[in-house]
């Protein structure tokens, strides 16, 4: 039996690892974005990144979100001075997960830390705190983040004496047409014989879609990325059929294939 999968996320541009991985198995993939991400503060970020304080005093920067990297890509494209751009790209960059690692590498960053070795913000913070880079006592580090972010990284680093500066690179808003678009997509898929799945990546932005699923009980299986999202769904009495052990396409595909 074939499979049709609705991924509750924005499709990563230009290459989405979930689309590519599922395409290998001829799985029908549909993206249903729950959020809009709007870049902000470009002038402020450019001014800081190209200034002497960042270039000469800051040891590294942290960037953990795909949307933040997309905003950074836009910022870097606006920097004309090649020497300055090269200095920025040589800064150590700490990130979470393999996907953001790969995108940063594609942008030209040469010293990327974390990635597959840091599956969440807490692990990344521990990695930063133990890094020999900061043993000289200079603990200045930049955190490029979204307007809404978790407190784990700032709390852990500040408690360890790090001089953490945050710059907000994008604003996230929940889309109001989620249920309308989901219903349209559901009606397209419900008539085919494929096994149907809805995949939750995060609790963020799911208020409308979870309420709709509670009220309508679709004949779709539910997949969750990670234990935090699983707990969130179970608290709403939505029982995931599978939980992907790792936040990547290969792990999700394996979990769904075994279900």
Q: Residue 1: its pLDDT value, please?
A: 72
* Residue 55 DSSP code: I
Residue with tokens 């808003």: 173
pLDDT in tens, the chain (259 residues): 789 999 999 888 778 889 999 999 999 999 999 998 889 999 999 999 999 999 999 999 999 988 899 899 999 999 999 999 999 999 999 999 888 888 899 999 999 999 888 888 899 999 999 999 999 999 999 999 998 788 899 999 999 999 999 999 999 889 999 999 999 999 999 888 889 999 999 998 999 999 999 998 878 999 999 888 999 999 999 999 999 988 889 999 999 998 7
**ω before 14 within 30° of 0 (cis)?**
yes
Q: Residue 252: its pLDDT value, please?
A: 95
> Containing H/E element for 198?
strand 195-200
b (16+ CB within 10 A) / e for 50-62: beeebbeebbbbb
Q: Where are the alpha helices (DSSP H) in the chain?
A: 17-23, 42-49, 52, 66-77, 82-90, 97-107, 121-129, 152-159, 178-189, 207-216, 226-235, 249-258
Structure tokens at 22: 């599922």
Is 244 in contact with 223 (CB distance < 8 Å)?
yes
Query: What's the CATH fold of domain 3-34+175-258?
Result: Rossmann fold (3.40.50)
Q: Residue 258: its pLDDT value, please?
A: 87
The CATH number of 38-172 is 3.40.50.10090
Q: Residue 151: its pLDDT value, please?
A: 87
Q: Is the pTM of this model over 0.85?
A: no
Q: Residue 193: its pLDDT value, please?
A: 87
pLDDT of 142-167, one tens digit each? 999 998 788 899 999 999 999 999 99
pLDDT of 63-94, one tens digit each? 998 889 989 999 999 999 999 999 999 999 99
Identical fold between 3-34+175-258 and 38-172 = yes
Q: Residue 225: its pLDDT value, please?
A: 92
The residues spanned by each domain of the chain are 3-34+175-258, 38-172
Interacting residues of 154 by C-beta distance below 8 A, sequence separation 6+ = 143, 164, 166
């Amino acid at each position: 039996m074939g499979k049709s999968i609705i991924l509750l996320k924005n499709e990563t541009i230009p290459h989405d690892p979930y689309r590519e991985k599922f395409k290998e198995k001829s799985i029908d993939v549909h993206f249903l974005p729950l959020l809009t991400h709007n870049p902000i503060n470009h002038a402020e970020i450019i001014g800081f990144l190209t200034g002497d304080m960042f270039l000469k005093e800051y040891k590294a920067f942290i960037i953990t979100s795909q949307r933040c990297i997309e905003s950074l890509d836009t910022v870097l494209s606006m920097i004309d001075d090649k020497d300055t751009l090269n200095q920025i790209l040589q800064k150590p960059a700490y990130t979470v997960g393999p996907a953001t690692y790969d995108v940063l590498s594609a942008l030209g960053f040469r010293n990327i830390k974390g990635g597959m070795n840091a599956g969440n913000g807490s692990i990344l913070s521990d990695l930063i705190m133990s890094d020999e880079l900061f043993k000289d006592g200079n603990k200045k580090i930049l955190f490029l983040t979204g307007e809404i972010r978790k407190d784990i990284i700032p709390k852990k680093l500040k408690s360890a004496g790090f001089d953490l500066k945050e710059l907000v690179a994008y604003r996230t808003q929940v889309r109001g047409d989620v249920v309308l678009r989901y219903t349209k997509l559901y009606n397209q898929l419900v008539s085919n014989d494929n096994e149907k799945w809805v995949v939750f990546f995060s609790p963020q932005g799911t208020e409308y879609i979870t309420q709709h699923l509670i009220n309508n009980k679709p004949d779709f299986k539910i997949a969750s990325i990670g234990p935090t999202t699983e707990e969130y769904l179970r608290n709403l009495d939505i029982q995931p059929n599978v939980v992907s052990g790792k936040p990547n396409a290969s792990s999700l595909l394996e979990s769904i294939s075994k279900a």
